[in-house]
């Protein structure tokens, strides 16, 4: 978890047979920063060894589940943009692998906004429940970027035509649409009650049986990530050297439309 003196960005507790792992970096909308990734890895490792937890529930504090990469951190990085982007992508690959290869089922519990890399976290989870406040969008295309690494788990969950629309338009959609296209398991009105019911469904299940069956389901996604990981990291690294990404990130941080945005008809 957090090192001594370090801000706690990921909280851990066990209740009702589930390890509750909560993203709590609200100052940047639970963006994927170096510190958050390290603490999330630690929480997942702790859950794997916790005999009181049959499943893991990955939830969030505040109105955003995860806003994707921490663009302010990316902007402040030292060294070449290409090398820094490649390294951040490899770190995120490790996080996706940690969720997919975790020995216990991981449930995404969402009742807020999910953007960009946050969509990859949801797709990597075995099951996902979303409440009425949830919204989803793959916003990379609006920044000049590609949804490189997360395209692998997303393609395993979402139907091809629906993924094409989400990737190419970056448009926002709600939890019911997310359920229809396969990104989430259920769209629910009462998230906490629905999570409790789902956790209860695992009570009769053998830990060994859960681990083995989860491994069978995750194997094709992990194989694809391993086969394509370096190439996908290269895509992100290459794009981070371009003028369009510089403009896209600047526009995002300045809360204005990028220069290429066309006016409404």
- Pairing mode of beta strands 55-60, 106-110: parallel
Mean pLDDT across the chain: 93
pLDDT tens digit sequence for 2-20: 666 689 999 999 999 999 9
CB atoms within 10 A of CB 157: 20
Residue 117 inside a domain? The answer is yes
Q: Is residue 202 part of a domain?
A: no
Total domains, the chain: 1
Rounded Cα distance, 155 and 247, in Å = 28
Listing from the earlier edge strand, what are the strands of the sheet with 173-174? 64-66, 113-115, 135-137, 173-174
Q: Does residue 5 lie within any of the structural domains?
A: no
Find out whether 159 and 166 touch, Cβ atoms under 8 Å. Answer: no
Whether residue 91 is contained in a domain is answered as yes
Residue 36's domain is classified under what CATH number? Answer: 3.90.226.10
Helix %, strand %, coil % of the chain (to 5): 50, 15, 35
Q: Which of 68, 22, 8 is nearest to 248 (CA)?
A: 68
Domain range spanning residue 170?
A: 10-190
- Tokens for 77? 């990085």
Question: 113-115 and 135-137: which strand pairing?
Answer: parallel
Residue at 111 is within a domain: yes
Tell me, yes or no, whether 253 lies in a domain.
no
pLDDT in tens, 134-162: 999 999 999 999 999 999 999 999 999 99
Tens of pLDDT, residue by residue over 170-183, are 999 999 999 999 99
Question: Per-residue pLDDT averaged across 87-107, rounded?
Answer: 94
pLDDT score recorded for residue 245? 92
Report yes or no on 234 lying in a domain: no
């Amino acid at each position: 978890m957090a090192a001594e003196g370090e801000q706690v960005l990921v909280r851990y507790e066990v209740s009702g047979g589930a390890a509750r792992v909560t993203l709590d970096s609200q100052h940047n909308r639970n963006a994927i920063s170096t510190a958050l990734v390290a603490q999330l890895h630690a929480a997942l490792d702790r859950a794997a060894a916790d005999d009181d937890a049959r499943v893991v529930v990955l939830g969030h504090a505040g109105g955003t589940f995860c806003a994707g990469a921490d663009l302010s951190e990316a902007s402040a990085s030292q060294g070449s943009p290409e090398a820094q982007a490649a390294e951040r992508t490899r770190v995120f690959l490790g996080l996706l692998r940690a969720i997919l290869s975790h020995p216990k089922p991981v449930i995404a519990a969402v009742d807020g906004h999910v953007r960009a890399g946050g969509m990859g976290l949801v797709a990597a989870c075995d099951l996902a429940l979303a409440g009425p406040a949830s919204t989803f969008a793959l916003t990379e295309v609006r920044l000049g970027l590609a949804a490189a690494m997360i395209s692998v788990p997303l393609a395993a969950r979402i139907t091809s035509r629906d993924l094409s629309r989400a990737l190419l338009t970056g448009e926002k959609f709600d939890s019911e649409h997310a359920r229809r296209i396969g990104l989430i398991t259920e769209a629910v009105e009462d998230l906490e009650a629905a999570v409790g019911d789902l956790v209860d469904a695992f009570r009769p299940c053998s830990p060994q049986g859960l681990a083995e069956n989860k491994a069978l389901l995750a194997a094709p996604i992990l194989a694809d990530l391993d086969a394509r990981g370096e190439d996908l990291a290269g895509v992100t690294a290459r794009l981070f050297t371009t003028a369009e990404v510089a403009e896209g990130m600047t526009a995002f941080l300045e809360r204005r439309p990028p220069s290429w945005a066309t006016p409404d008809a």
